[in-house]
Every structure is written in structure tokens, then in C-alpha cells.
Amino acid sequence: MKKSKLEKGLTILVIIAICLISFVGIYVKKQGKMQNVLPQYRLGMNLGGARVTKYKVSDKTQEIVYDASGNVTSEGKNEDGSLKEGYTKEDKAINSEEVKNEENFKTAKRIIQNRLKNMGVSEYKVKLNHNSGEMIVEVPEDSSTDEVISNLTYLGKFEMKDSTTNEVLMNNQDVKQASCVYGNTATGTVVYLNIEFNKEGTKKFENITKTYISSTNEEGTTQTKNVSIELDGESMIKTYFNETISNGVLPLTIGSASTSSEEITSYIRQANQVAGLIDAGVMPVQYELVENNYMSPSIDTTIIKIIVGVIGIILVIGFINWIVRYKVNAVFSIISYLGFVAITLLAIRYANVVISLEAIVAVIFLLIASYMIFTYTLKQFAKKDANQFDVIKETYKRYASVFAPVLIMAVVFTFMNWLPISSIGMNLFWGITILVIYYYIVVRLLFDVQEVKK
Amino acid sequence: MEKLKNKKVIYLIAVLIILIGIVATCIWKTNFSLQYSEHSRIDIYIGKEYHLEDLKQIAKDVFPNEKIDYQEIEFFHDSVAMNVKQVSDEQMATLKEKVKDKFQLEEIDNNISVVTVPHYRIRDMVKPYIVPMIITTLITFAYVGIRYLNLGIFKVIGTLLIRLIVSEAVLASIIEIVRIPVGVYTMPVAILVYLFVIIFTMTEYEDQSRRKKQEEKKKK
């Protein structure tokens, strides 16, 4: 079946228009400036820059006040800051010399990595100086970066204390897992920080919920025994228990909102961050943030230029090969090929897919895959008994089998939390999906069996 | 027969490369790119807009024949970081002097600082890829086994597995032998090799399977 010239002409015009939009953009005058109205590409850390922070092992000291019997106390000072009589004080290093060792530095690095993972940071680099303990942490620049960075200096010490005596009733060793959960109630969505205790912790917690209660004695006086739940010595909540909890789960309300999704998201983020801190363990060394800067990517652009140049040259050679061997249909193939690249790039922009340097894998694969498919199509059309539907069917059949593992990779990678990997997956996924649909449309509209036969 | 001979030669070369690679790994330390190895980052606050070319010229004088990576600090285009392998006191003094002169700065000592950036470990680089690669490979093996059942399930999976292992080992050996710096491009290249091996093998299986089906049809 021969296509009308109008049909082909219109198809080519549409593809050229898509190419222009994708490669050049759509420019509109905004505030006296010409601006591209297409969404910007979202770049990963190694292409878009990162927040680079430096943490050093704290050399600060803390003042410790002792009472007459040599016990540490917080009540040994007068209002003006002077020591009460009989009390003594000592300036003690936050990190003793004993804790400053390579093993602890490595543990601290692992905890920081776990925290970043628990907080949902999609990509990070942690570099440790094994001698000094200094750490350089790189995280992507976004709205949660500052919160993430500030959370890294916490020790992550979870404690449940008697609020009167300060006796530590439970700590991190009793915790099995901390997580963020949320549920819908009549008033809206409530976000909780769920602290799940281990076997021993569950027993301790059950006893605590029996002891720390509000009760009224025979004289009608209400007596309340409170616990203070603290993170790094700072009280998160002071509370008592209305009922015995024997399932070993402590749900702490972080916040509730009736309609505002922004508020809910913020509570979820807070809960996740605290859960991340508790879950990752206690830092054996106290760190302090000494540098915090955004830094542009350090990728050597000459390498990228070389890669793009080499790909360009290979493509040109490939196109010449098509023209020499398949004449008219080769021209349609080249136009279709460029159209495919343009549509994929547009899809990546609109689908908000992050492009990391690792996504170069997806780009190269898609360029090769689409070239293989169009070459096979041209070869099939060049056969004397070629039939358009058979060619499409045959091509799909062959390449669905060959590229199935790549589709498997695309799906698996897309669901990974590590951005460079999900970036490969998402770019592959969009590229393959578009290729499947686009190939059918373009071959149906442009390729002509009769012309090749001549 | 000819094909079989070729395959044997290819595998022999691959084994040879891997052996040399193992020896090279024992002799030399892995070569890391500047950003992935321990290096010095010199942060320079210029305090006004600058041209990177001016800085590059200064760096060329202070660190001749050395690879230098530049990064902008913050968004104001008034600070820059120079990443160099290492910097001596003498080089630092010269750099300070030249930057001060070039950009006519009144104060320099507080405007330049050196940060030692520790090296990025291979295990940290590879770790995130382990789980997704294992999952992908297992599902691929299951798919290949079922799809090309007529070629023999163990044969197709075994061949693919050997090819994947050998190709990645060859890549790692080439990196070690040629002293290609391990860095940001290493993992993408490793995944590309993985993909190419799979596509190549699948294409081969597809053709073999088709031929076998045609032969069976003919026999019938």
C-alpha cells in the first residue's frame, strides 16, 4: 500500500516540529527576557551540583557540676551562674581521647550513611578520613537539605527517663525499630512516630506503662508519675500512660492536619527524620558541622563533549550506511530516529525524570536499540515479499525477546531508592515505552514497501 | 567448527587479560580519579566576579602538568574550589600571592583554605548496585531459561552467566592494567558492558532458537 505524499509530508513536518521543540525549546517573552517554557531537565548530584558539608570530631568541652558527694548534678548553680557552696565543676571534653579511634570513626560513618538512607536521601557520598575522623558528606540540593544536614550532628541517643529523678528507664538498646506511620481519624490525618521495642524492651516498657500513670489516692489527690522521652538529652515529650501497653509499641503523635497536605508531608518528614536518627544507632563520637556549601559539579565537561562527539560521529556514519543501502526509506528512518530522540527527551522533561551521569547508560542503550530496530526494519522492507504489518510484527517479536532483560532492568532499577540507579531505570523505561509506541506509528505512516521494491 | 575455534580464542584472550589484571592488582594500587582519591580542595573566596580562565592560568603556573578540577562554591560566582592531588606550603604561598595580585585583593590569608578530601571507597560506590543487579540478573535468567527452553535451560543460563562474569572481569582487568582512573564513569561503563553482553547473547539465542524451530519444522 502506497502512502499519499500529503500523509508522509505531514508526518515529517510533525516530527521536525517535535525535534525543534525538544532540541531548541519554545521561547516566550517573560519580564523582558526570552525564556524557554519547557520544563527544565532535573539533574542528579554529579551533573547539577551538591551540598558539600564537612564534619569534624568535636573538640568542645562541657561543664560538669558535681555535688559534695561527687555525683553529677544539674542543680549546682546559682541564678547568676556561680557555683553553689559545696559544689565543684569540671570542664570535660565531649569526646574523650579513648573514643577517638578508627573503629569509632568507621561506626560513625556507617551510622551517618544509615541516617541518610532512613531519611530518604536519594543520593549521597560519605568520605571518611580514617586518621582524623573528619567526614565530607555530599547530598543533593533541595528543600530538605538543611534539615538533613542538621540531623547528621545528632548523637541519636534515645532515652526514656523518670522525669523527676532523671533515671534512665530505656534507651536505644531496647529499640527494635522506629518508623513513621499515619492514620485517618475523624479530625483528619494523624502522623505518629512509632517506636517498636525488642523483646527485653517490651517487658521494660510494659512495666513502665504500669508504673508511670496518673492515680487518685483515697484522699482524692491526683498523683502523676511522668516519663520524659528524650533525644540527645532534649525532651520530646513528658507524659504518663492511661493503660498498660504490652505489645511493645510506643506511638508518639508528631502532628495532625485536617486538609493541608503540606502540613501532613512536613509531619511525615519530621517523623521520618527522628525515626531515622533512632534507627541508625548512637554515634560513638560527637561531630560538629564546620563547612556547609553548595558546590557545582566537578565533572570534566571535556569528557562529556568527547562522549557526545563520538556518539554524533557514530550516528552520522550509521545514517550514511542506511542511505547507501536503503535509499528512500533510510531518509525516513533518519527522520524517525531523530524524532524518537526528541520525543524521549520531551517525555523525560515532563515526567520529571532525574538525569544523573549514570543515566548515560540508558541514553547509549536507547540510541543503539532504536538504531538496531530501524536497521532491522529497513532490512525487512528491502525484501521482495515485504509486507508492512509482517515487518512490524516480526520486528516486535524479535526485539521484544532480545530487549526483555533490559525492560526487566528498567523496572527493577526504577523502584530503587538510590537516585543514580532509579535514574537509569526511569530513563530506560520511558525510552523503551516510547520506542514501542512510536515505532508502530512512524512505520505505519512513513515507510513504504512499494518504493523499496522499485 | 570455525565459530567454535573463534570462541575458544576469545575466551583464551579473556582469561589471559584477567590473569594479567590480577597480577596488576597485586602490584599496583587501583588508580582513582582525582575526585574519588584523597586530594586537596583549595577553597578560594574572591569576593567579586571572576573569570575562570584567569584562575586556570594561575593554577597552570603553580601546579604545572597537574590535573585540576574546578567547582563553583555557592551561587554568587565569587568563590571557587580547586581540586588538586596535593598542595605543598610553597605552592600554597605562591597561589595566595598570585591570586591576591590578579584579583587585587586586600586580604588573602582568610580567603583561601585547604580541605583534605578523603578518598571514596570502591565498596561505597558498588554497594548500591548489588541488590538491583542481583534481582535483575535472577529475573533475566528465569526469563532466558523459559524463553529459550528449546536450546537447553542450563546451557543458555550457564553461557549467559559465564559471559557476564568474564566480561565484567575483563573490564575490571583492563581498568587495572591500563590504569584507567576509577571514578564517576566506572559504574555506568560496567552496566553498559552488562547490557551489551545480554543483548548480544539474546540476539544469538534468538537466531539459534529460530534456526532450530525451522529445522524441526523441516524434519516434520
Identify whether residues A291 and A322 lie together within a single domain: no
**Chain A residue at shortest CA distance from B79:** A295
From CA A160, how far away is CA A157, in angstroms rounded?
10
Q: Tell me, what CATH number does A32's domain have?
A: 1.20.1640
> Positive or negative CA dihedral for B38, B115, A115, B74?
negative
Residue showing cell 548496585: B129
Residues B202 and B126 both lie in one domain: yes
Using one digit for the tens of pLDDT, what is the confidence trace for B97-148? Answer: 999 988 888 888 888 999 889 988 888 899 999 999 999 999 999 999 999 9
The helix/strand/coil state of A131 is coil
Q: Which domain-ending residue is among A265, A295, A325? A: A295
Taking the CA of residue B69 and the nearest CA in chain A, the distance in Å comes to: 6
Question: B14 near B164, Cβ under 8 Å?
Answer: no
The alpha carbon of residue A409 is apart from the nearest alpha carbon of chain B, in Å, by 5
Between CA A392 and CA A400 the distance in angstroms is: 12
Residues 26-85 of A with CB under 8 A from B: 46, 49, 54
Residues 6+ away with beta carbon under 8 Å from A430? A344, A347, A348, A351, A353
Pick the closest to residue B140 from A193, A398, A159, A411 (CA basis): A411
The phi and psi torsions of A168 (rounded to 5 degrees) equal -80, 120
Handedness of CA A111, A204, A211, A206 (dihedral sign): positive
One domain for residues A385 and A440: yes
Burial of residue A87 (CB within 10 Å: 0-12, 13-18, 19+) is: middle
pLDDT of residue A448: 67
Distances (CA, A) of A119 to A122, A177, A277, A294, A352: 9, 14, 8, 20, 21
At B148 the three-state DSSP class reads: coil
Helices A419-446 and A360-381: crossing angle in degrees, nearest 10, is 20
Distance set, CA A136 to CA A146, A182, A299, A314, B119 (Å): 15, 34, 18, 40, 10
Would you tell me the crossing angle of helices B186-219 and A360-381 to the nearest 10 degrees?
A: 30
Residues of B in contact with A291 (CB under 8 A): 115
Q: Looking at the partner chain, which of B72, B120, B139 has a beta carbon nearest the beta carbon of A408?
A: B139
Q: How far is A193 from chain B (nearest CA, A)?
A: 27
**Cβ–Cβ of A412/B132 closer than 8 Å?**
yes
In terms of domains, do B163 and B208 share one? yes
C-beta atoms of A294 and B75 within 8 A: yes
Residue A194 burial (10 A CB sphere; 0-12, 13-18, 19+): middle
Locate A1 and state its grid cell.
Answer: 500500500
Domain membership of residue A366 as a residue range: 5-44+300-453
Q: Write the DSSP assignment of A383-396 as a string of letters.
A: STT--HHHHHHHHH
User: From first to last of its 454 residues, what are the pLDDT tens digits of chain A?
Assistant: 556 788 889 999 999 999 999 999 999 988 888 899 999 988 888 888 899 999 999 998 888 888 888 777 777 777 787 888 888 888 888 898 899 999 999 999 999 999 998 888 889 999 999 999 999 999 998 888 888 898 898 999 999 999 888 889 999 999 999 988 888 877 788 888 899 999 999 999 999 999 998 888 777 788 888 999 998 888 888 888 888 899 999 988 888 776 777 888 888 888 888 888 888 889 999 999 999 999 988 766 777 788 889 999 999 999 999 999 988 889 999 999 999 999 999 999 999 888 888 888 898 899 999 999 999 999 888 887 777 788 888 889 889 988 999 999 999 999 998 999 999 999 999 999 999 999 999 888 888 654 444 4
User: How many CB atoms are closer than 10 A to CB A51?
Assistant: 20
B20/B71 same-domain check: no
Check whether residue B145 and residue B73 sit in a common domain: no
Q: Are A95 and A287 in contact (CB under 8 A)?
A: no
A127 in the same domain as A253: yes
* Cα dihedral B195/B197/B200/B203 (nearest 10): -70
CB spacing of B128 vs A418 below 8 angstroms? yes
A100 falls within a domain: yes
Number of compact structural domains in chain B: 2
CB contact under 8 A, B73 and A294: yes
Instruction: With CB atoms and an 8 Å threshold, state whether B195 touches A416.
Output: no
Q: Is the same domain home to B112 and B127?
A: no
Together in a domain, A190 and A282: yes
Question: CA–CA distance from A197 to each of A170, A176, A212 (Å)?
Answer: 10, 5, 17
Any B CB within 8 A of A23 CB: no
Tell whether A87 is covered by a domain: no
Number of residues that make up chain B: 220
User: Is the residue at A69 inside a domain?
Assistant: no
Q: What is the CATH number of the domain that holds B59?
A: 3.30.70
**Pair (A236, A282) in one structural domain:** yes
CB A290 within 8 A of CB A54: yes
Per-residue pLDDT of B73-104, as tens digits, reads: 988 888 999 999 989 999 999 999 999 988 88
Which A residues 106-145 touch B at CB under 8 Å? 113, 125-130, 134-136
Domain span at residue B46 reads: 38-117
Cβ count near B165 (within 10 Å): 12
State whether A405 and B83 contact (CB < 8 Å). Answer: no
Q: Which three cell numbers stand for residue B212?
A: 532450530
- B85, B117, B149 - which closes a domain: B117
- The confidence band for B2, taking pLDDT boundaries of 50, 70 and 90, is low
Q: Say if the Cβ atoms of B116 and A406 lie within 8 Å.
A: no
> Which of A401-430 are b and which e, b meaning 16 or more Cβ less than 10 Å from the residue's Cβ?
bbbbbbbbbbbbbbebebbbbbbbbbbbbb
pLDDT of residue A298: 76
Q: Is residue A73 part of a domain?
A: no
A163 and A180 in contact (C-beta within 8 Å)?
Answer: no
Which of the listed residues A249, A269, A295 is the one where a domain comes to its end? A295
Residue B67 has phi, psi (to 5 degrees) of -80, 130
> What is the structure's pLDDT at A449?
58
> Given B81, B129, B132, which is nearest A295 (Cβ)?
B81
User: Do B128 and B214 reside in the same domain of the chain?
Assistant: yes
Residues B111 and B130 in one domain: no
**pLDDT on residue A27:** 92
B90 lies in the same domain as B129: no
Say whether both B158 and B68 belong to one domain. no
Residue whose C-alpha cell is 582519591: B37
Q: Which residues of A touch B199 (CB under 8 A)?
A: 369, 402-403, 405-406
What separation in angstroms does the CA of A276 have from each of A183, A263, A313? 20, 20, 49
**Is residue B82 a contact partner of residue B55, using CB atoms and an 8 Å limit?**
yes
Q: Which 8-state DSSP code applies to residue A120?
A: T
The answer to whether residues A156 and A290 belong to one domain is yes
Q: What residues in A contact B147, CB-CB < 8 Å?
A: 401, 404
Dist. CA A172–CA A174, nearest whole Å: 5
Q: Are residues A311 and A264 in the same domain?
A: no
Residue B185 at interface with chain A, using a CB cutoff of 8 Å: yes
- 8 Å CB contact of B136 and A413: yes
Note whether B165 and B99 are same-domain residues.
no
Q: Is residue A413 domain-shared with residue A371, that is, in the same domain?
A: yes
**Interface predicted TM-score of the whole assembly (ipTM), two decimals:** 0.88
A381 and A441 housed in the same domain: yes
What CATH number has the domain bearing residue A55? 3.30.1360.200
Nearest to A56 by CA among A165, A158, A129, A157: A129
Whether A357 sits inside 8 A of B191 (CB atoms) is: no
Q: How many domains does chain A have?
A: 2
- The residue among B117, B133, B150 that closes a domain is B117
Domain boundary among B68, B87, B117: B117
CB contact under 8 Å between B136 and A296, yes or no, is: no
If asked whether residues A277 and A416 sit together in one domain, one would say no
Average pLDDT, chain B: 91
Same domain as A204, residue A306: no
Using the 3D structure, point to which of A295, A315, A341 is the last residue of a domain: A295
B90 lies in the same domain as B130: no
* Inter-CA distances, B164 with A184, A397, A446, Å: 49, 25, 39
What's residue A3's pLDDT? 64
Do the chains contact at B136 and A412, CB–CB below 8 Å?
yes
Q: Do B136 and A402 touch (CB under 8 A)?
A: no
Residue A300 confidence (pLDDT): 66
For residues B142 and B61, state if they share a domain.
no
- Hunting for cell 527522520 — which residue is that? A335
Can you state the angle between helices B186-219 and A388-414, rounded to 10 degrees?
Answer: 140
